[in-house]
Amino acid sequence: MNAIATLTLLKKEVKRWRKVWLQTVLAPVITALLYLAVFGHVLEGRVEVFPGISYGAFLIPGLLMMSVIQNAFANTSSSLIQSKVMGSIVFVLLPPFSAFEMFLAYIGAAILRGMAVGVGVFLVALFYVKVPPVHDIFLIIGFAVLGSYVMGALGLIAGMWAEKFDQIAAFQSFLIMPLTFLSGVFYSINSLPPFWASVSYLNPFFYMIDGFRYGFFGQSDQPVMISFFVMLSAAVVLTGFCVKLLATGYKLRDA
């Protein structure tokens, strides 16, 4: 393991999103805030998902996690597709990186961007809604890290697979966005008709949101350990898959 090389690539990837923070951090924070303002205003007092918890407070963990995972995905996918299209990927392919070192650096940067956006959403949301209770801070951090890890890995796969920017956009519009919106960010899946509730259990994003929300309220649709196990399994499988793709140079080398 070459720690200097891995940390340098991580530093470069973090610096990349920090240099365009308006687009990579502030914009998603504003988007989350708009969701919160509109849905919170319309549904506050009309809907109570968990007993004793206002809709606005219920919404915060879901929106926060949605922002975290979407930006973790965006970070790896956009970094890879940009460097592939512009040809600068060669600067990472020529040095003696192992596949696992590359994976760690890209995922680390995705997690840090996810966290930066998450903290931003939380801080800004505090001005609008009563602070939701914190049941278990370690679960909150654990699910945020696992969620952004999994989504960073999916972004890595999308970035390697895509050859054009519009393919990444399609991936986001037709897969990430629907799965996120249908994962229970805005509602409890127990409020759905039985069929759609069952379908929701097949949505891996549901476990990210549900487990994360448990960290705040101590209440969830699924037992939190099941969500944690699903997330951990997804992380292990995706790690193996990504490292294999990076080792073979899928659509990076031989391109």
Partner 1 sequence: MVDAIKIENVSKSYGELRALNKLSLNIKQGEFFGLLGPNGAGKSTLISALAGLLSTDAGSLSVMGHDVVADYRQARSALGVVPQEIVMDPFFTVRETLEFQSGYFGISNNSQWIDELLDQLGLADKANSNMRQLSGGMKRRVLIAQALVHKPNVLVLDEPTAGVDVELRQSLWRFVRRLHREGHTIVLTTHYLEEAEELCDRIAIINKGELIALESKEDLLAKGLGNTLLVRSKQSINSVPPSYESKVSRLEANEVEIVLNREVDSVMQILDDLRQHGLDIEFVNVMNDSLEDVFVRLTVAPGGAR
Site residues for partner 1 per CB under 8 A: 2, 4-5, 7-9, 11-12, 15-16, 19-20, 83, 86-88, 90-98, 249, 253-254
Residue 16 or 135: the one with the smaller Cβ distance to partner 1 is 16
Q: How far is the CB of 2 from partner 1 (least distance, A)?
A: 5
Q: How far is the CB of 152 from partner 1 (least distance, A)?
A: 19
Residue 15 or 244: the one with the smaller Cβ distance to partner 1 is 15
Q: How far is the CB of 23 from partner 1 (least distance, A)?
A: 12
Q: How far is the CB of 166 from partner 1 (least distance, A)?
A: 20
Residue 88 or 191: the one with the smaller Cβ distance to partner 1 is 88
Which H, E and C letters describe the chain, residue by residue? CCHHHHHHHHHHHHHHHHHCHHHHHHHHHHHHHHHHHHHHHHHCCCCCCCCCCCHHHHHHHHHHHHHHHHHHHHHHHHHHHHHHHHCCCHHHHCCCCCHHHHHHHHHHHHHHHHHHHHHHHHHHHCCCCCCCCCCCHHHHHHHHHHHHHHHHHHHHHHHHHCCCHHHHHHHHHHHHHHHHHCCCCCCCHHHCCHHHHHHHCCCHHHHHHHHHHHHHHCCCCCCHHHHHHHHHHHHHHHHHHHHHHHHHCCCCCCC
Residue 8 or 190: the one with the smaller Cβ distance to partner 1 is 8
